[in-house]
Amino acid sequence: MTDSVWKHPDLKEGEVFIRNDGSEGFKRLLTVLKTARQGTKAFNINRALIQLEGFKPIFCQKEELDQNGGESKLDARIAALVTSRSNEPVA
């Protein structure tokens, strides 16, 4: 039996692919995932190169993602951080 799971060419050992996103999305992910990093080429679900400027794959260490509740919890954690920061008094 052959391994039919495709691996992104930018994926490093111990990492998982999170999503393709622009620089603002990447900055939001960094508020929760300190090991997040951007790759160089984004691909769609059919493995075709996505030709949108600034759109890159995002990866992080699997262990950190698991500690943060998995991918399904990321957007909720980011939204909670953004909301709590917007309620902080301005210095």
What residue spans define the domains of the chain?
15-78
Torsion-angle region of 71 (φ positive above 0: left; ψ -120 to 50: alpha; else: beta): alpha
CA count, 13 A, side-chain hemisphere, 32: 24
pLDDT for res 77: 85
Please choose, from the candidates 70, 18, 9, 14, the residue with its C-alpha nearest in 3D space to the C-alpha of residue 41.
Answer: 9
pLDDT for res 72: 83
pLDDT for res 85: 67
Low-confidence residues in the chain, pLDDT < 70: 1-4, 85-91
